[in-house]
Amino acid sequence: LDPEALAGDSNAVMDFLAEYYRNVDKYPVRAANLEPGQLRELLPKAAPELGEPMEEVLDDVRRDILPGLTHWQSPRFFAYFPMNASAAGLAGEMLSVGLNVVPFVWAASPAAAELETVVVDWMAQLLGLPRRFMFSGGGGGVLQGSTCEAVVCTLAAARDRQLARLGHEAITRLVVYSSDQTHATFQKGARLVGIPPSNFHVIPTSAASGYGLTADAVRAAVDRDVALGLVPLYLCATVGTTGLGAVDAVREIGDVARRHGMWMHLDAAYAGSALVCPEFRDYLDGAELADSVSTNPHKWFLTNMDCCCLWVANPRALTSALSTDPEYLKDDVGIDECTGKPAAIDYKDWQISMTRRFRAIKLWVILRRYGAAGMRAHIRRHVAAAQWFEQAVAADGRFEVVVPRRFSLVCFRLAKRCVGDDDDAANGANRDLLAAVNASGKAFMTHFVVDGRFLLRLAVGGASTELLHVKEVGELLQGKADEVLQRYQY
């Protein structure tokens, strides 16, 4: 890497990004008019023979790429879940990719590996996780790229723990449980670790429990399976489900999991960030019954992609499933005389890939720059804005809030009574409302369907989203609702 080229190129990119962030509010939030194949037509048919100046590259980004992007960093992006970017996150990412070290075994970059152990303990402490998930409490954590990767690792650990007891043939009898609100990543993960698709059992939830998984429902499913000779392996509990932000009864289902020797994973991909605020800690009640916990700081913790924290109570269960010991990676760290464990950590044994990023420095920079107080203020600002929105839609007789808001996600719809008490008409009107809002370019939201009801999701959490933007989207929705309901007058 040529230091002079670095200074020139990175200054040009920084100027470009500063201009982008100054104007990001002015772009249509969702990419509007890009047809498949259109960008390919604009670009040369092959990579250039000779290198080109950075300015020309950035001109092309501005002209050809930006118009086709959906602007996730717009303050009026309310779709999916947020994907936070911050100045500290970008600075941390620059340090990570700039230093470009690979902490897969201790010798490969000792300070990078050790910083990761410090940062995951800091995070566990900040979010109020039980001590058993910290290195200082006998557990430990790792930074991965996504929840999906983390979940595959925990499923492999759970599978190997059971198969060591029952023999390899038992794999056809192992069952993984999720709720009908659990993220699809668990189903993918179960498939990847060899669980027969018919042994991925989806347990229904209902409005009565706010679409959270209950112990009775888990017990009924597990008892049925045990009677059939199946072996309960793994249960996923979620704090903050993707569709509705629902929360499972962690302690109660954790008790069932314990009784049956199941591995319980606690998925807090989105809502985990909120746990930095003590007022959300009740949702962690029973977390000590879990074997593993994960959250994605890249969603709502001011962390640029990518970063998933995975903690396990028993690191050896994870490393037994994932470790390899090739000659070319052997180092001589030795064994700790007190614990009998390797004296240092080889993070290659905590994840799928061997080569890995120096994510710890990014999260460390972020935590140092914002501090716990800064993070709490960030979360509370969004929760207060979501609270305002929830009250505003509830006060407008045309709308209904579908499930009580727990964090910063509001799920709502035009009420059926406004369109002649007809289910299909209500779904049609809500689809039309969402389409009208998104087509305006002034906001981007996504939907969910529960019990056959199509609803709109307002996920507040963009790093630059303020109450002002939420109020604006409220006005936009009211105007579009007028137009849509006129069409549905009967």
CA 431 to each of CA 36, 77, 180, 490: distance values in angstroms, whole numbers, following the listed order: 23, 18, 22, 18
Residue 213 backbone class (left: φ over 0; alpha: ψ -120 to 50; beta: rest): beta
Give which of 243, 239, 242, 280 is closest to 383, Cα–Cα. 280
Give which of 347, 352, 315 is closest to 331, Cα–Cα. 347
Verify binding: residue 457, ligand PLP, rule CB under 6 A.
Answer: no
- Counting Cβ atoms within 10 Å, is residue 50 exposed (0-12), middle (13-18) or buried (19+)? exposed
Rounded to 5 degrees, φ, ψ at 143 are -105, 120
**Residue 327 three-state SS:** helix
Q: How many CA atoms lie within 13 A of 118 on its CB side?
A: 14
Closest CB 144 distance from ligand PLP, rounded Å: 9
Tell me the β-bridge partners of 77: 444
- Give kind and range of the element (H or E) at residue 51: none
Identify which of residues 297 and 315 has a Cβ nearer to ligand PLP in the complex. Answer: 297
Verify binding: residue 270, ligand PLP, rule CB under 6 A.
Answer: yes
Closest CB 444 distance from ligand PLP, rounded Å: 16
Q: Contacting ligand PLP (CB under 6 A), which of 269, 307, 310, 402?
A: 269
Q: Contacting ligand PLP (CB under 6 A), which of 71, 183, 265, 378?
A: 183
Verify binding: residue 117, ligand PLP, rule CB under 6 A.
Answer: no
Rounded CA-CA distance 284/166 in Å is 32
Identify which of residues 202 and 467 has a Cβ nearer to ligand PLP in the complex. Answer: 202
Tell me the β-bridge partners of 256: none
Verify binding: residue 308, ligand PLP, rule CB under 6 A.
Answer: yes
Verify binding: residue 357, ligand PLP, rule CB under 6 A.
Answer: no
Q: Contacting ligand PLP (CB under 6 A), which of 74, 292, 296, 304?
A: 296
Stretch that binds ligand PLP, among 235-243, 335-343, 393-401, 446-454 (CB under 6 A): 235-243
Footprint on residues 131-150 left by ligand PLP (CB under 6 A): 146-148
Q: Contacting ligand PLP (CB under 6 A), which of 73, 74, 84, 185?
A: 185
- Contact between residue 236 and residue 186 where contact means Cβ atoms under 8 Å apart: yes
Helices 359-395 and 110-127 pack at an angle, to 10 degrees, of: 30
Tell me the β-bridge partners of 446: 457
For 233-260, the DSSP string reads EEEEEEBS-TTT--B--HHHHHHHHHHT
Q: Structure tokens of 83? A: 């994907």
Size of the site for ligand PLP (CB under 6 A): 15
Verify binding: residue 267, ligand PLP, rule CB under 6 A.
Answer: yes
Verify binding: residue 205, ligand PLP, rule CB under 6 A.
Answer: no
Verify binding: residue 84, ligand PLP, rule CB under 6 A.
Answer: no
Identify which of residues 270 and 454 has a Cβ nearer to ligand PLP in the complex. Answer: 270
Verify binding: residue 178, ligand PLP, rule CB under 6 A.
Answer: no
Identify which of residues 238 and 408 has a Cβ nearer to ligand PLP in the complex. Answer: 238
Tell me the β-bridge partners of 232: 175
**DSSP conformation class of 171:** G
Q: Contacting ligand PLP (CB under 6 A), which of 162, 205, 214, 238?
A: 238
Closest CB 436 distance from ligand PLP, rounded Å: 25
Closest CB 294 distance from ligand PLP, rounded Å: 8
Verify binding: residue 287, ligand PLP, rule CB under 6 A.
Answer: no
Residues that bind ligand PLP in the complex, under the rule CB under 6 A: 81, 146-148, 183, 185, 238, 240-242, 267, 269-270, 296, 308
